[in-house]
Structure 1
Amino acid sequence: MSTIDRYDYAFEPDGEEWAARLLRCVPPGGLSVLELGPGPGAMTKVLLARGHRVTVVENDPEALTALQTLGAEVIEGNLDSPDWLDTIAGRRFDVVLACDVLEHLRKPEDVLRRLGDFIAPMGRLVISVPNIAYAGVLAAMRNGIFDYSDKGQLDRTHVRFFTKRSIEKMLLNCGWAPRFWDANRVPVECSEFAWYWSALTGEQRQALLAGWPDFDVYQWMVVVTPSVDASAWELSEARSAADKLRDDLQTLTVVHQRERASLLEHQKAFAEAKDIISKLQIEIKELRTEVEIVRAEKRTVEAALVSCQTSPGGQDGGWSRRWRRLLGRT
């Protein structure tokens, strides 16, 4: 497998793959971006398509050939040597990307200490490193295995290994202040260590994972800024937070006004319905009274008819008078 094949890959720029998430740390707006160790340029292509001005530093011959065709500024240089830094002396970049690069360097501390000179005011450095504390690595070691491979967590070109704590310590010692962390979580069963993981007993896996929330972190990402810019960065973050709160308040106000107007309309409709129901109840009561009167008169008529049928013939005149009176009432 050639170097260019090993580090070439495709991804959906707006998706949830790790490369896409890393690129979301680059703000929009046609910024100046310095990308260290881009390989054949999978991320470089996306940066250029988004209108950024991209400068790349690479030393692999095959990768350099591929990069030359993309339209980025290409600097041939070994990151372990300070020569490439002299090439960009005096320049400032809005964003510097060092994604899956530091683990390939013998002295990443030297690069980190110098990079602060090339960050523009309010600029940022985006770093991604493999997590050697990944559960898959420990599962392999539990089986007595620590074998290098062409790519992945134990890429044979990795000369430095990091945990979250060790990369944070190195950054602080080199004058960088972490601002934001993110994790690329990969189930061990879906990694190159799946076989070693399945070789452990259920009891061994449970003991390994107990109280360990970051067991599946395959890579760590951190956005950092120079420590000397801490006050300005914190002020900018405070302003951004205030702007967001202001926007949220405005949105809530609009929603509140809309809901209040809707509530008033419902209250008005409810009051009208209540008035209609009250009038209907009065009408129903009056109708029931009339029905009771009619029923009473009906009972009186029925009683009179019964009386008529049972009276002797000589009393017919009296019944006739009563019947006429009843008919006169109705």
Structure 2
Amino acid sequence: MSTIDRYDYAFDPDGEDWAARLLRRVPSAAGSVLELGPGPGAMTRVLLARGYRVTVVENDPEALKVLQTLDVEVISANLDGADWLNALAGRRFDVVLACDVLEHLRTPEDVLQRLSDCVAPMGRLVISVPNIAYAGVVAAMRHGIFDYSDKGQLDRTHVRFFTKRSLEKVLLECGWSPRMWESNRLPVECSELAWCWNALSGDLRQALLAGWQDFDVYQWMVVVTPSADTPAWELADARSTADKLRDDLQALSVVHQRERASLLEHQKAFSEAKEIIGKLQFEIKELNAEADILRAEKKALDADFASRLAEPQPAVGTWTRRWRRFSGRS
């Protein structure tokens, strides 16, 4: 597998791939970007499509051939040397990307110390590195294995290894202040080291996982700014927080007003319904009173009818004479 094949990949710029998440740390307002070690330019193409002015530093001959076909400024240099920094002397960029780069350098500290001269005021450096404390690597070491391969955690071109803590220590020593961390989590079972993990006993896996929240962090990403800019960044963060709180308050106010209007409508409807129910209850009461009167009258009629039935009835001849007398017949 060639170098360019290892680092040539496609991804959805708007998706959740790691490269897409890294590029989301490039502010839309940024104009200029310095990308270190871009390989054949998978991320570079997205930056160009989004309208950034891009300068790249690369030394792989195959990658350089591809990059030179793009609308970017190409500096052919080894990042472990000083030629590229000399070529950039006096220039500053809104964003510097060092994504999966530091682990390939013999002296990343020297690069980090000098990179602060390349970052514009209120600019940022975005870094990503593999996490050597990944559970798959730990499992492999538990089996006594630390074999390099063409790609992955133990890429044979990796000469430096980092954990979150060790990277933070280097950054602070080199004059950078971490502003935000993000992790790329990959289930161990889906990694190139899955077999090492699965070969451990269940009890040993459980023991390793106990209290280990970051066991599945395959890569760390951190956004850093020069320590000298810390007061300005803290002020900007405070303003950003205040703006967000104002926006949240405005949104809550809109929701409150809408819900209050809805509540008033419900209260009005409830009041009207209560009035209607009251009228209906009064009508029901009147109807019940009328029904009581009718029941009493019916009861009296029933009693009268029963008493009449109990009286002695006249003979048939008497009824006949009464009828003839009534009808005028004799």
TM-score, normalising length: structure 2: 0.94
The runs of at least 4 consecutive aligned structure 1 residues that moved more than 4 Å come to: none
| Partner residue in 1 for 2:60 | 60
1:277 aligns with 2:277: yes
Q: How many residues align?
A: 314
| Partner residue in 1 for 2:203 | 203
| Partner residue in 1 for 2:179 | 179
| Post-superposition offset of 1:161 | 0.5
Q: Which amino acid aligns with 2:173?
A: N
Matches within 5 A, 1:250-329: 250-313=250-313
What secondary structure sits across from 1:214 in the alignment? coil
| Partner residue in 2 for 1:327 | none
TM-score, normalising length: structure 1: 0.94
- Supply the distance in 1 between the matched residues of 2:70 and 2:294 (Cα, whole angstroms): 99
- Supply the distance in 2 between the matched residues of 1:201 and 1:285 (Cα, whole angstroms): 80
1:79 aligns with 2:89: no
| Partner residue in 2 for 1:139 | 139
List runs of 5+ in structure 2 lacking aligned partners.
Answer: 315-330
| Partner residue in 2 for 1:326 | none
After superposition, give the CA deviation of every residue in 1:256-278 in whole Å (9 maximum; x if it has no partner): 01110110111011001101100
Query: What is the root-mean-square deviation in Å for CA atoms of aligned residues?
Result: 0.9
Conserved in 2, the CA contact under 8 Å of 1:29 and 1:51? no
- Supply the distance in 2 between the matched residues of 1:30 and 1:79 (Cα, whole angstroms): 24
Q: Which amino acid aligns with 2:33?
A: V
Conserved in 1, the CA contact under 8 Å of 2:99 and 2:127? yes
- Supply the distance in 2 between the matched residues of 1:35 and 1:297 (Cα, whole angstroms): 103
- Supply the distance in 2 between the matched residues of 1:173 and 1:313 (Cα, whole angstroms): 128
Identity among equivalent pairs (%): 77
- Supply the distance in 1 between the matched residues of 2:117 and 2:25 (Cα, whole angstroms): 20
| Partner residue in 1 for 2:194 | 194
| Post-superposition offset of 1:225 | 0.3
What secondary structure sits across from 1:213 in the alignment? coil
After superposition, give the CA deviation of every residue in 1:175-196 in whole Å (9 maximum; x if it has no partner): 0000000111111100000111
Q: Which amino acid aligns with 1:202?
A: G
- Supply the distance in 2 between the matched residues of 1:269 and 1:301 (Cα, whole angstroms): 47
- Supply the distance in 2 between the matched residues of 1:198 and 1:293 (Cα, whole angstroms): 89
| Partner residue in 2 for 1:125 | 125
What secondary structure sits across from 2:228 in the alignment? helix
- Supply the distance in 2 between the matched residues of 1:125 and 1:145 (Cα, whole angstroms): 34
Conserved in 1, the CA contact under 8 Å of 2:30 and 2:94? no
List runs of 5+ in structure 1 lacking aligned partners.
Answer: 315-330
- Supply the distance in 2 between the matched residues of 1:156 and 1:186 (Cα, whole angstroms): 21
- Supply the distance in 1 between the matched residues of 2:126 and 2:42 (Cα, whole angstroms): 16
Conserved in 2, the CA contact under 8 Å of 1:131 and 1:220? yes
Conserved in 1, the CA contact under 8 Å of 2:30 and 2:95? no
